[in-house]
């Protein structure tokens, strides 16, 4: 019998319980623990939370066995006016570093979110959104981030001969520092947003701000990668990127019924 190794923390219990119920609905035997050496079989599925050092042994066990690895995290964009959480799910990596399947169904429109028109604010500042520095070796934010990326931005404007370059403002991560301003306030004077791979990128793109990610991947393909484009940011169509993103997150109900897993594991079921 195939085994689903669910290595998520047991608290909150409703979350781990929903993952267990979802995998059981697909015929898997569920074990809410880390596998011991050699226990994972090629037909199994290993589920982790992020790929930070705590979960690296589970990732390595899945890789050695050739089993499917599924990575969960907090969701990216909630349903408008609803506090019910979504959970990000992808194979082999989080926040765009893994893969997921995109179906024909429109999962974006039911979220009720509005993609606001592009903002043009030439006199605004560039907002650099910091992060905590957790995640896989590939995706964790390097420290220091702001102190590294801000000089790069300054050099870009200097080489372009811009006599009055935009100010660069740091938004510290609320998980590490008490926020002095709300995100809405920080957005209100910005001309663009730069981040490693923060979820702030999704919120900025929704708000119409040109957004740049420095990480090798981001779940939102509308985030730009070339910082030189800060001089004159393009305005791509964001809707296709948000539609794809909507297939990378699932409600707890969709997880508990197995709907999310049938999508993510369609090649191995």
What pLDDT, on the 0 to 100 scale, is given for residue 39? 97
pLDDT tens digits, one per residue of 105-120: 999 999 999 999 999 9
How many residues does the structure list for the chain?
269
Average pLDDT for 166-188:
84
- Does 205 fall in a domain? yes
Structure tokens at 147: 């102190």
CATH number at residue 196: 3.40.50
Residue 79 and residue 29 share a domain? yes
Query: Would you give the end-to-end CA distance of the chain in angstroms?
Result: 13
Residue 139 and residue 80 share a domain? no
Residue 98 and residue 148 share a domain? no
Residue 210 and residue 131 share a domain? yes
- Does 120 fall in a domain? no
pLDDT tens digits, one per residue of 126-151: 999 998 777 888 999 998 999 999 99
Q: What is the model's pTM?
A: 0.94
What pLDDT, on the 0 to 100 scale, is given for residue 174? 67
How much of the chain, in percent, has pLDDT values that exceed 70? 98
Q: Which domain holds residue 147?
A: 125-237
pLDDT tens digits, one per residue of 31-73: 999 999 999 999 999 999 999 899 999 999 999 999 999 999 9
Confidence at 13, pLDDT banded by 50, 70, 90:
confident
Based on C-alpha coordinates, what's the Rg of the chain? 20
**What percent of the chain is helix, strand and coil (3-state, nearest 5)?**
30, 20, 50
> Could you give the number of structural domains in the chain?
2
Residue 102 and residue 206 share a domain? no
pLDDT tens digits, one per residue of 193-223: 999 999 999 999 999 999 999 999 999 999 9
Residue 105 and residue 142 share a domain? no
């Amino acid at each position: 019998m195939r085994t689903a190794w669910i290595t998520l923390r047991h608290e909150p219990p409703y979350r781990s319980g929903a993952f267990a119920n979802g995998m059981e609905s697909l015929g898997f035997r569920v074990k809410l623990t880390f596998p011991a050496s050699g226990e994972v079989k090629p037909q199994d599925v290993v589920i982790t939370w992020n790929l930070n050092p705590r979960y690296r042994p589970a990732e390595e066990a899945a890789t050695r066995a050739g089993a499917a690895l599924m990575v969960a995290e907090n969701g990216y964009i909630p349903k408008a006016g609803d506090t019910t959480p979504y959970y990000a799910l992808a194979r082999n990596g989080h926040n765009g570093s893994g893969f997921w399947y995109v179906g024909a169904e429109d999962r974006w429109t039911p979220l009720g979110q509005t993609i606001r028109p592009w903002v043009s604010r030439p006199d605004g500042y560039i907002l650099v959104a910091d992060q905590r520095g957790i995640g896989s070796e590939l995706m964790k934010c390097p420290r220091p981030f702001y102190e590294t990326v801000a000089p790069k931005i300054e050099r870009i404007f200097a080489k372009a001969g811009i006599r009055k370059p935009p100010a660069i403002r740091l938004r510290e991560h609320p998980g590490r520092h008490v926020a002095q301003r709300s995100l809405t306030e920080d957005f209100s004077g910005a001309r663009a947003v730069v981040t490693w791979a923060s979820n702030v990128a999704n919120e900025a793109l929704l708000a119409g701000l040109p957004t740049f990610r420095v990480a090798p991947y981001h779940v939102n393909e509308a985030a730009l990668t070339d910082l030189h484009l800060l001089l004159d940011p393009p305005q791509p169509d964001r809707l296709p990127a948000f539609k794809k993103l909507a297939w990378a997150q699932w409600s707890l109900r969709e997880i508990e019924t197995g709907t999310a897993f049938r999508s993510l594991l369609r090649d191995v079921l």
